[in-house]
């Protein structure tokens, strides 16, 4: 593939790298490799990286402003892949041989980069040590933030994949509840959900589930009984793009208290959507949700979170610094852009009624927002 037809916005990547003073990027996570290579994700190592005495380590080397000098280093079984980098070497079986080849390529560029960005959380220690020993005068820094900001605005094709993943996760949940009733266990429902998501073309990632008044969301043989509520919080991905939503069901009819409790959660969810549109500050989403939360009768037992999502379940825009997943809310004061995708989730751990939650996926548009997979948000009567 010619470099003039790159599958990502190289001008934006160059600008992000320049803003952070980065001369050369080495990507190593499977999600960023997939993004930068236009969808390539080697299926053989999709579920597990370990092999022999080492592990799969794909590397994409990108000198800022010079895609014509880029290289992809992959496993020996990837040699038939048609990829855009001018140099593609698919001949490696571990971390050490891949890093050695990366060093050779960088030295062949003619000058040692002053700053090299790597994905520290996704680069094995032996490969990192090889790189730092080979280039002792280079400044090594983390590539996570510039790559997140590159991915933050989704293309129309990416949006459709998130939409598909979101809609099909909810459809799978509703199918599970339509076929399960009293006597079913959490393990039964999770196993069926896995099958339903797979049947709909998704890769099942996980499911957190509760029944009755229990707050324990791990798979187990807990039994769903008449009158009990249940929650399914599942992540399934479509071609790598995540659908991550939570919906509620009950065996029987929800009483007025349950209607009110889910209504409180729904009010917070919808309030958080109100300010969403291109140009609004990301932190306004958090402020709106928290303002509604402050009026909820159950506020002492409610947690509210909003964050970006796409190839990763928590990615840019990062809107808050006190989310359960710890990271700084660096994007709270930055404007939202059309094409960003947000996950908004409100959780009530009621001491007497159990675990009640809604998690929604919301697309930022020029005029406002669009809910993706927005069905099943009320109590679903199961069976």
pLDDT digits (tens, 9 = 90+) for 95-143: 999 999 999 999 999 889 999 999 999 999 999 999 999 999 999 999 9
pLDDT, one tens digit per residue, over 158-177 is 999 999 999 999 999 999 99
Q: Which residue, of 151, 172, 196, is where some domain finishes?
A: 151
pTM of the model: 0.96
pLDDT, one tens digit per residue, over 260-299 is 999 999 999 999 999 999 999 999 999 999 999 999 999 9
As given in the structure block, the two tokens for residue 128 are 């990192």
99 and 195 both lie in a single domain? no
318 and 192 both lie in a single domain? yes
From the number of C-beta atoms within 10 Å of its C-beta (0-12, 13-18, 19+), residue 108 rates as: exposed
144 and 167 both lie in a single domain? no
Q: Which residue, of 151, 173, 191, is where some domain finishes?
A: 151
167 and 260 both lie in a single domain? yes
As given in the structure block, the two tokens for residue 192 are 């069926």
Residues in CB range of 314: below 8 A, 6 or more apart: 307, 308, 323, 325, 327, 343
136 and 225 both lie in a single domain? no
54 and 180 both lie in a single domain? no
Q: How many domains does the chain have?
A: 2
Q: Which residue, of 134, 151, 168, is where some domain finishes?
A: 151
294 and 255 both lie in a single domain? yes
Cα separation, 304 vs 286, whole angstroms: 8
257 and 180 both lie in a single domain? yes
143 and 261 both lie in a single domain? no
CATH classification at residue 245: 3.90.230.10
pLDDT number for residue 2 = 46
242 and 323 both lie in a single domain? yes
pLDDT, one tens digit per residue, over 45-96 is 999 999 999 999 999 999 999 999 999 999 999 998 899 999 999 999 999 9
Mean pLDDT along residues 203-221: 97
273 and 305 both lie in a single domain? yes
CATH classification at residue 34: 3.40.350.10
Domain span including residue 16: 3-151
Report how far apart, in Å, the C-alpha atoms of 280 and of each of 113, 292, 310, 344, 365 are.
38, 18, 20, 16, 11
147 and 161 both lie in a single domain? no
Tell whether the model's pLDDT for residue 1 goes beyond 60.
no
> Contact at 8 Å (CB) between 182 and 230?
no
> Contact at 8 Å (CB) between 277 and 366?
yes
């Amino acid at each position: 593939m010619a470099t003039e037809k790159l599958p990502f916005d190289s001008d934006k990547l160059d600008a992000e790298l320049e803003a952070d003073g980065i001369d050369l990027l080495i990507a190593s996570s499977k999600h960023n490799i997939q993004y930068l290579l236009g969808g390539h994700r080697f299926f053989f190592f999709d579920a597990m990286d370990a092999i022999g005495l080492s592990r799969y380590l794909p590397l994409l080397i990108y000198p800022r402003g010079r895609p014509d000098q880029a290289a992809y280093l992959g496993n020996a079984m990837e040699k038939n892949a048609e990829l855009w980098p001018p140099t593609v070497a698919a001949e490696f079986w571990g971390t050490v041989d891949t890093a050695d080849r990366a060093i050779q390529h960088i030295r062949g560029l003619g000058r040692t980069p002053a700053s090299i960005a790597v994905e520290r959380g996704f680069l094995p220690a032996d490969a990192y040590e090889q790189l730092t020993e080979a280039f002792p005068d280079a400044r090594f820094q983390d590539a996570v933030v510039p790559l997140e900001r590159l991915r933050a605005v989704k293309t129309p094709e990416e949006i459709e994949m998130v939409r598909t993943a979101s809609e099909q996760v909810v459809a799978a949940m509703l199918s599970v509840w339509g076929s399960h009733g009293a006597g079913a266990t959490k393990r039964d429902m999770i196993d069926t959900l896995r099958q339903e998501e797979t049947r709909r073309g998704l890769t099942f990632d996980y499911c957190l589930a509760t029944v009755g008044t229990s707050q324990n969301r791990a798979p187990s043989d807990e039994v769903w009984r008449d009158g009990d509520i249940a929650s399914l919080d599942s992540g399934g991905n479509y071609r790598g793009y995540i659908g991550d939503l939570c919906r509620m069901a009950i065996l029987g009819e929800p009483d007025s208290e349950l209607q009110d409790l889910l209504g409180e959660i729904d009010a917070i969810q919808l309030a958080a959507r109100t300010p969403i549109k291109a140009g609004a500050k990301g932190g306004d989403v958090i402020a709106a949700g928290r303002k509604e939360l402050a009026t909820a009768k159950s506020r002492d037992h409610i947690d509210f979170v909003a964050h970006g999502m796409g190839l990763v379940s928590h990615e840019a825009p990062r809107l808050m610094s006190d989310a359960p997943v710890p990271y700084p809310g660096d994007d709270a004061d930055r404007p939202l852009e059309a094409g960003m995708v947000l996950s908004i989730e409100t959780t009530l751990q009621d001491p007497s009624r159990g675990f009640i939650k809604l998690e929604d996926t919301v697309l930022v548009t020029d005029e406002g927002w669009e809910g993706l997979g927005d069905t099943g948000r009320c109590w679903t009567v199961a069976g």
